[in-house]
Amino acid sequence: MQESPKLRRLVSLLSRLPGVGEKTAQRYVLHLLTADPQIAHDLGAELATLHDQLRPCDRCGNIAEVVPNEPETTCAICRDHKRDARLLCVVGRVHDLMAIERTGAMRGRYFVLGRLLSPLEGIGPEELPLPRLAARIAADGVTEVIVATPPSVDGEATALLLKRELAILGVTMTRIASGVPHGGELEYADPITMGRALAGRQSL
Amino acid sequence: MQESPKLRRLVSLLSRLPGVGEKTAQRYVLHLLTADPQIAHDLGAELATLHDQLRPCDRCGNIAEVVPNEPETTCAICRDHKRDARLLCVVGRVHDLMAIERTGAMRGRYFVLGRLLSPLEGIGPEELPLPRLAARIAADGVTEVIVATPPSVDGEATALLLKRELAILGVTMTRIASGVPHGGELEYADPITMGRALAGRQSL
């Protein structure tokens, strides 16, 4: 196939995005080529400066805007004084933080672990930022830690590790509920989900 | 949700890509933020200069690299003298040209219509570049036109229009085959595809 080197390079870079293969990348480029040139230009300018303008929050690991000449980079949630500093929600990834924020139901702050315990992938307790988490809990006078790691093998293992490691701090630890999702058909729920829905039943 | 304006702007721009919603766009940004900063930077630089470096080939409509100080922008296929100029493959979109090129079986050149006849979308014969196609056929001494528009309602209508409009040029016109795809199960083929496979049968 006789493709231009520019096209090949752009397709190869776009293929680095999660879930994007060569065909999808090509579709993106063809779309941008036929759309308003301003879109490709603006998108390019934003991406080129991405890492200069956004980086992990020094306090929680959420995405934060870099403020020039500020020694500390903090996210909007950590800076929001209306948030309850005593309620701390621990998540695995920023994606999960965002999913929780979309509910509008979280009035506390967050701590992003960045990874989950995963014996299969060789990620042990020492790879998790537990000392930093413990320091944060102590410094902010946290009274409740909500463990919002996913209800997967790695997520559950991480939750158990946190329970054990943070027990010494005397903080209340809770775990998000797991069960049949909203709108889900019981008929199609897998046995583990159904079992969790039963085990986690609450009085009506 | 307390998101940074930079993040919001980037997500909104990425959502302009075909098939990309807000969640996917967010996933792309989070991926780029945790990956090597060079990737976002390079991708941004390539996108920002996309329209300065790539544009439709003046002769066929394929993607072509812009050469500074050249009056005409031509693609690699139109410049390739080993291609048979007398064999011209007419496609609807550059995507289709690329799909045909991937076979490595096309030894002629292309002409990209840019759109298909579509009464439903209000696209009539006058919106198609028929005069430019006729001129190309005459100028290049084309002897066979392969109509490779898709086997859809619009694609078939376009093929019939081309047959009618180009008849006066006395050029041989062929249509790509339509039938059960390679590896496809007859059991799952829709009736129209199956009907086409029967009608287009060839001697063994």
Tens digit of pLDDT at every position of chain A (204 positions): 557 889 999 999 999 999 999 999 999 999 999 999 999 999 999 999 999 999 999 999 999 999 888 889 999 999 999 999 999 999 999 989 988 888 888 899 999 999 999 988 999 999 999 999 999 999 999 999 999 999 889 999 999 999 999 999 999 999 888 888 877 777 777 888 888 777 787 766
User: B5-48 in CATH: which number?
Assistant: 1.10.8.420
* pLDDT tens digits along B43-71: 999 999 999 999 999 999 999 999 888 88
SS3 state at B105: coil
Q: Which positions in chain B touch A80 (Cβ < 8 Å)?
A: 2
Sign of CA dihedral A163, A166, A168, A174: negative
What per-residue confidence (pLDDT) applies to B63? 94
CB contact under 8 A, A54 and B7: yes
Sign of CA dihedral B113, B114, B117, B122: negative
**Taking Cα atoms as reference points, which of A119, A122, A184, A124 lies closest to residue A153?**
A119
Q: What top-level class would CATH report for the domain A74-203? A: alpha beta
Interface test with B, best of A26, A27, A43, A103 (most B CBs within 10 A): A43
Q: Give percent of chain B with pLDDT exceeding 90.
A: 69
Q: Give percent of chain B with pLDDT exceeding 70.
A: 98
Compute the average pLDDT of residues B175-184: 83
**Taking Cα atoms as reference points, which of B93, B130, B39 lies closest to residue A26?**
B93
CB hemisphere CA count around A131 (13 angstroms): 2
Cα separation, B162 vs B169, in Å, equals 11
Does the model's ipTM exceed the 0.95 cut? no
Show me where the domains of chain A are located: 5-48, 74-203
CB contact under 8 A, B10 and A93: no
Question: Cβ neighbours of residue B182 under 8 Å, at least 6 residues apart?
Answer: none
Q: Which positions in chain A touch B3 (Cβ < 8 Å)?
A: 63, 76
Q: Which positions in chain A touch B64 (Cβ < 8 Å)?
A: 4
CB contact under 8 A, B27 and A18: yes
CB hemisphere CA count around A188 (13 angstroms): 5
